[in-house]
Amino acid sequence: MIIEHLSCGSLCPHGRRWLSGADAGHEPAELCCHCLLIHGPDGLILVDTGFGRADLRASSTRLGRSFTAIARPRLDESLCAIAQIEARGFRAADVRHILLTHLDLDHAGGLSDFPQATVHVHQAEHQAAMHPHLRERARYRACQWQHPVRWQVHAGEGESWMGLHGIKALPGSGDDILLIPLPGHTRGHCGIAVRSPAGWLLHAGDAYFHHGEMLDPPRYPAAIEVVESLLNVDRRQRRLNRDRLRALAQRRQADVRVFCAHDPQELKLLQAAGQV
């Protein structure tokens, strides 16, 4: 099984200094949309999708004017998962499964590029996205799943996994790909754990935003906490799950690699380590 680390989108909000640290300069930040492309025995599997082609072609209608103005996504279609997959000689239909950490617009945008894939998401997240509360309406964009999506909704907590819980997501993959419920950022937010030949990878989605949050003691810019609190649906749960992730990352450094969706430094390090 080969696992590639891709960035399927780029966010360039103003305030790099606030988001990355005082020595980072005054130019806009550049945040990635970290996705995994897994070459499995029965086809390709994507973990998160970043933005899709349609999002970048009609960004203000698909993503909304306020998100586009604040997050400033780079309108570069070569970043889309479908473009990167085609550049490797595959077709959209070769992607058999998509696992999503959550359904926020910067994670689910690529769904419409892979209409034949089975889409795995936690039940609480599916429920939130299909029936959003007032303050959730801007983050979920129904246009991203207007096509007939083959949803596979997973419920509950699953079984014990390294001090957390994991739901076996793909029948036939054994215990190798798990949804790890980590609610707080959104109602049904999950991490996705993938067993690679070099150990476990845990894509923590938006459970945290900056690599310094996984250090012991944590060291990260104060603005990160402000942004996370503005975006979370449950602050207490988000912080509790971040603490659990940090404990896991510290305790099992040798056999679990934890990373989040938007930290470019984590992506760079994992890409430099090569395919596994």
Which residues of the chain form contacts with Zn ion (CB under 5 A)?
106, 206
User: By C-beta, is 13 or 212 nearer to Zn ion?
Assistant: 13
What are phi and psi for residue 174, nearest 5 degrees? Answer: 60, -135
Handedness of CA 92, 96, 102, 103 (dihedral sign): positive
User: By C-beta, is 110 or 161 nearer to Zn ion?
Assistant: 110
User: By C-beta, is 81 or 162 nearer to Zn ion?
Assistant: 81
8 Å CB contact between 92 and 116:
yes
Q: How far apart are CA 143 and CA 123, in angstroms?
A: 19
Min dist. Cβ of residue 125 to Zn ion (A): 13
Min dist. Cβ of residue 262 to Zn ion (A): 6
User: By C-beta, is 106 or 213 nearer to Zn ion?
Assistant: 106
Q: How far apart are CA 161 and CA 174, in angstroms?
A: 14
Per residue, the 3-state secondary structure of 188-209, as one string, reads CCEEEEEEECCEEEEECCCCCC
Min dist. Cβ of residue 261 to Zn ion (A): 5
Min dist. Cβ of residue 49 to Zn ion (A): 11
**Chain center to CA of 251:** 23
User: By C-beta, is 79 or 170 nearer to Zn ion?
Assistant: 79
Q: How far apart are CA 153 and CA 164, in angstroms?
A: 20
Min dist. Cβ of residue 173 to Zn ion (A): 25
